[in-house]
Structure 1
């Protein structure tokens, strides 16, 4: 093939190469700080989201599967010792767990007495309203606070750099990393539709969460009296 024709073919192929931002929302063309800013902006105005994944905090690992909105949340939390459900409607917070959760030995304390075991059986799979004055209230409520969780999850540490493109649940994404190796966290931002944050890997192996069902509303209602019992004393530590 003559050199001129070969060169022309090469240029033509390069010109026809697929534009990775064609058909996207365009945030892939922005700088890393601008992409993160767009993601934070749409997250701040969202009405609802599902958050699922693992968080590591102060040596404890929590597996979350929560649906969150401004006035409440519902979902489950799994710790080293137990799994329990949380339901918050306004400031009213309810916890539901199996009998093992309510026995002292499952929480790392003394062996349960017969009375403890009997009480635990009654509480099995029932909702318990968490008193706002109980030491567990603030910790448990934190798992149901959409603004608090998103604020803690979307923030990157260190100089922000653009990473690779990926797909999450069939949605194209662009990665923004805190530091060249993502040591300050890695955020995946949607390239399709609104630039919602879709996944966040915390720095130092401190967990990965997937964010989905943005702005998808869901019902929240307090449990009925038949589904609710009073624990009667300070809740076990989770």
Structure 2
């Protein structure tokens, strides 16, 4: 072996000796090195910082699955303090939700409405096809779907971990390092270890869905649809979406 090569090997051995060994081999070391330091805190402090960060962001994107009222929904929503917009899928079909202030609009194809057999229902459904339906606040559909567009309501659900909350493993959501908070009776919340400690993933207890959160603080346009695209379903159509 050439003396130069022996010298290089010896130098690497010195660098990797002791505490540095784990770093040379890609194991061990401090998992919180280069992070925002949140992973070193107690569970209650991590949860508090994540809650504060979430409340302080004026916009975000939320996507994934959630079980509500015994039904499973897949969501892909953009949320702001004054409303939200996005797509929801369920066994009844796929539809779009838009809420601006207190005004909730639902947009879907004709198959989403009526039972498909009755001629009157078919005619009513045809009027709704591809239109934004303005849902009156007193309608059951308003109560059922408005929560999917409500940033405050959805974020409050993130911080419901069943049982005693403890600090879990270091993980990743996409390429971002996270620290997990685990409920002793189910549920987990991944909190970002990069920059602001936003919640990035929420796994609901008892298989009730998984949500990912992204685009924190990234604004987007939220506006009511043109009047020509809106049907007032409370006074004009008199039908309700299939459940």
TM-score with structure 2 length normalisation? 0.85
**Structure 1 stretches of 4+ moved >6 Å:** none
Which residue of structure 2 lines up, in the alignment, with residue 92 of structure 1?
103
CA distance, structure 2, for counterparts of residue 18 and residue 74 of structure 1:
43
Which residue of structure 2 lines up, in the alignment, with residue 163 of structure 1?
168
Cα gap change, 1:48/1:154 in structure 2, threshold over 3 Å: closer, same or farther? same
CA distance, structure 2, for counterparts of residue 119 and residue 25 of structure 1:
55
Structure 2 alignment gaps of length 5 or more: 1-12
Cα RMSD after superposing both structures: 2.1
Task: Decide which of 120, 128, 136 is 1:123's aligned counterpart.
Answer: 128
CA contact (8 A) 1:48 1:67 kept: yes
CA distance, structure 2, for counterparts of residue 14 and residue 100 of structure 1:
59
Which residue of structure 2 lines up, in the alignment, with residue 71 of structure 1?
82
| SS, match of residue 122 in structure 1 | helix
| Cα displacement (A) at 1:78 | 1.2
Greater Rg over alpha carbons, structure:
2
| Cα displacement (A) at 1:86 | 0.5
Task: Decide which of 6, 13, 35 is 2:21's aligned counterpart.
Answer: 13
| Cα displacement (A) at 1:25 | 0.5
| Cα displacement (A) at 1:136 | 1.7
| Cα displacement (A) at 1:198 | 0.1
Cα gap change, 1:234/1:163 in structure 2, threshold over 3 Å: closer, same or farther? same
Structure 1 alignment gaps of length 5 or more: 106-111
1:26 aligns with 2:37: yes
TM-score with structure 1 length normalisation? 0.87
In the alignment of these two chains, the number of paired residues is 224
Cα gap change, 1:209/1:133 in structure 2, threshold over 3 Å: closer, same or farther? same
Pairing 1:1-238 to 2, within 5 Å after superposition: 9-10=17-18, 13=21, 18-105=29-116, 112-179=117-184, 183-231=185-233, 232-238=237-243
